[in-house]
Amino acid sequence: MEVVKDALNKAQVAFLSYKNFSGKKKATFLRAIAEEIEALGTELVTTAMRETNLPEARIINERGRTTGHCRMFADLVEEGSWVDARVDTAIPDRMPAPKPDIRKMLVPLGPVVVFGAANFPLAYSTAGGDTASALAAGCPVLVKAHPAHCDTSRLVAAAIEKAAIKTGMPQGVFQHLDAEGFEIGQALVKHPLTKAVGFTGSLAGGKALFDLANQRPEPIPVFAEMSSINPVILLPDTLARDAAKTAANLAASITLGVGQFCTNPGLIIAIENEALNSFIKTLASEIQKALPGTMLHQGIADNYSRRLTQTLVQKGVKTEGQAANGTHSQGTPLVASVSAEVFIQNPALSEEVFGPFSLIVRCKNIEELMKVVSRGHGQLTATLMGDEGEISKHKALINVLIEKAGRLIINGVPTGVEVCPSQMHGGPFPSTTDSRFSAVGIDAIKRFARPVAFQNFPESLLPDELKTDNPLGIWRLFNGEFRK
């Protein structure tokens, strides 16, 4: 495909110079992107609202998160220690063999393809976390726009291109490809100059890209965020005290954004008793009061309706509370319940229903609850509702959850992902294709870099980050001691 070939040739030419740009110069570019996005003003907000059915407050918040991500990575690369520089100087008279001079740091991978996400028109799309972290690492980016918000994507792409010209970036450091269908995306992943892929979307889409990348003569990493039902475990003693409050908080989380968040609490696990009955009654009441909301686009609405119907017709599944039905483009909030025995026997009940839905799993005892948790898939998050004393009696449960999720939460809801250095937004398959990396926070940059060791290099040929006199003044591990 000629358009893909031309785009990646430009990206590769840009990479040969951009990879050597200083952190300060890349930081200037990233800050300029943030400024140009903000300069779009109300045009960006109204366009995104029109294309996604999202409210103004959500778009403004997402715009702030997008520009904040750009500035966060600008600060990171300007400071410089993210390259994880390590210097071990030579010991020529060491016995029984001399020690060579070895120095190591992270270097950028090469051109990165980013697929825009349907549910985040700004924060996980054209200038979102994947794009910002790849540019920060020193990788040119090619964005495949999502057709659900193509006008929004074009506006943001134009802002990035304007920032690139203003700050003297090489032509091809950022490119925007706007086409429907799968052909462009497949061609981008298959092209030999592509070195990594960023994706946020469905399990089917992410797995298809992952498989395609691994069928190449030179396989490449695909960092795909895909499917997560984010289990919430309600411990009985604490639930008995806080059933109503817990139900209200979870109802708000289930219906937030019409349930169109990757961290939506799609599974609630608890032990059968009167407290659980009270909780379900209150949760059902809260859900019944909720209003159906227009979903991001008709494809998501149709998929929610289809998956919800498939779940509700499964043997043993009981509807507990349902909001009033809306139009064909709206998502109806609903909660249902099922016994642990049936849940364990039916793998279909573990699949994500992307929308304002949650399934309650009723367990006979803690042993059955542990069985449900142990057999669960990989998740972005797992939540425990309980006080410190009660949780301390179930440390085995925490040990299992550590194996199942990237972020563990106590007495909170999974929706709402704080952007900070400690954040982990990733998890075991099928929530992502690589549980070692986060898509949020400063560590997201490490997806698009690899370590290289330089042995016995003359000082004049070393990258500045590895020179003995440390001209950049960054923190490094120097002969086993962290220092500037």
Tens digits of residue pLDDT in 29-88: 999 999 999 999 999 999 999 999 999 999 999 999 999 999 999 999 999 999 999 999
Provide the pLDDT confidence category of residue 181 given band limits of 50, 70 and 90.
confident
| Residue-level pLDDT at 105 | 98
Of 107, 31, 170, 99, the closest CA to residue 465 belongs to 107
405-410: strand order across its sheet: 318-322, 334-339, 357-363, 267-271, 231-234, 379-385, 405-410
Catalytic residue positions, numbered: 225, 262
Alpha carbon 97 to chain centroid distance?
A: 47
Tens digits of residue pLDDT in 305-324: 999 999 999 999 999 999 99
Q: What is the CA radius of gyration of the chain?
A: 24
- CA separation for the pair 285, 270 (Å, rounded): 18
Q: Choose the weakest-confidence range: 145-149, 196-200, 430-434.
A: 145-149
Sign of the CA dihedral 259, 263, 268, 270? negative
The residue length of the chain stands at: 484
- CA separation for the pair 98, 75 (Å, rounded): 40
Q: Which amino acid is at 132?
A: A
Q: Which amino acid is at 78?
A: E
Residue range(s) in the chain whose domain bears CATH number 3.40.605.10: 2-226+434-483
| Residue-level pLDDT at 477 | 97
Average pLDDT over residues 401-430: 96
Task: Kindly tell me if the per-residue pLDDT of 179 is higher than 90.
Answer: no
Is residue 451 within 8 A of residue 106, CB to CB? The reply is yes
| Residue-level pLDDT at 256 | 96
Provide the pLDDT confidence category of residue 182 given band limits of 50, 70 and 90.
confident
What is the assigned CATH class of domain 2-226+434-483?
alpha beta
| Residue-level pLDDT at 230 | 98
Average pLDDT over residues 450-468: 97
231-410 maps to CATH 3.30.565.10: no
Average pLDDT over residues 94-113: 97
pTM (two decimals): 0.95
Residue range(s) in the chain whose domain bears CATH number 3.40.309.10: 231-410
Give backbone dihedrals phi and psi of 331, rounded to 5 degrees, phi first: -105, 125
Average pLDDT over residues 419-424: 93
